[in-house]
Structure 1
Amino acid sequence: MTEQKEKKYIRSHEPIFWGLFGAGGMLTAFLTPVMILITGLLIPLGIIDKGNFNYQTLHSFATSWYGAAIVLVLVALPLWHTLHRIFHALHDLGVKRGRDWQQVLCYGFAFAVSVFTFTILLQMF
């Protein structure tokens, strides 16, 4: 009988970052054209009243629980997408030495800004 070797699986944190990358990319792909349409065409042409985008209206939206959650998602996910892309672009450009500092820098910055956004939104309540 041949002896079967036990396979060792190395756990990776990479699927978490790929998930955040994909969600941020999808969000950016869907919302960027809409924001360009609204702020670049519909408001200047007078189709949408710009009174809907004044400070009081946007502040009351951001201070509601659902508005704060939406703002957090709109800030954090595209940021994770961007920094994950930067991290892999560094590797593609040949910056291979000590990838740990690159991960800490890219993902640490995305995490720090996400936490900062969360704390600012909490202070608005």
Structure 2
Amino acid sequence: MSHSQHTEPKRSHEPIFWGLFGAGGMLTAFLTPVMVLVTGILVPLGLMSPEALSYERIHDFATTWYGAAVLFVLIALPLWHTLHRIYHGLHDIGIHRGRDIQQVVSYGFAFAVSVFVFTLLLQMF
């Protein structure tokens, strides 16, 4: 085939995983400091009522459609971020064998846990 002929670019699933990685990383970067502030400083110092984070209150929130959606996003996206980072971290430290297996295990685990969390949240209704 000559260079002048047009060839279709090879399709890749990487943009999907990079998107989930980026969304999970952004969510983690924004929410981790807030969670540390609330649970590590405000509540222990008495500046925020512990009742705000009571089981009953969180349960009431989680059993609404929007609460379940928020919880799903808060669990699934950071998980995808973490497993994408682990997958690429293995490559960075020189573990190149079984690339396809590493990919299936990393992304497969993130997918399985996401489906599990989704199922659990649906059962709360």
Residue by residue over 1:46-101, the C-alpha shift from the partner in whole angstroms, topping out at 9 and shown as x without a partner, is 11111111111000000000000000000000000000000000111111122000
2: distance between equivalents of 1:84 and 1:115?
Answer: 17
Determine if the alignment matches structure 1 residue 55 to structure 2 residue 68: no
Stretches (4+) displaced over 4 A: none
Residues 1-125 of structure 1 mapped to structure 2, 5 A cutoff: 4-125=4-125
With over 3 angstroms needed to count, the CA separation of the structure-2 counterparts of 1:3 and 1:87, relative to structure 1, is closer
2: distance between equivalents of 1:7 and 1:67?
Answer: 47
Aligned residues: 124
2: distance between equivalents of 1:81 and 1:3?
Answer: 39
SS in 2 for 1:95: coil
Q: Displacement, 1:35?
A: 0.2
- Stretches of structure 2 that go unaligned for 5 or more consecutive residues are none
TM normalised by structure 2 equals 0.96
Determine what percentage of the aligned residue pairs are the same residue: 68
SS in 1 for 2:30: helix
CA RMSD after TM alignment = 1.2
Moved more, 93-102 or 113-122: 93-102
Q: Displacement, 1:28?
A: 0.2
Q: Displacement, 1:5?
A: 1.6
2: distance between equivalents of 1:22 and 1:109?
Answer: 18
- Stretches of structure 1 that go unaligned for 5 or more consecutive residues are none
2: distance between equivalents of 1:105 and 1:98?
Answer: 10
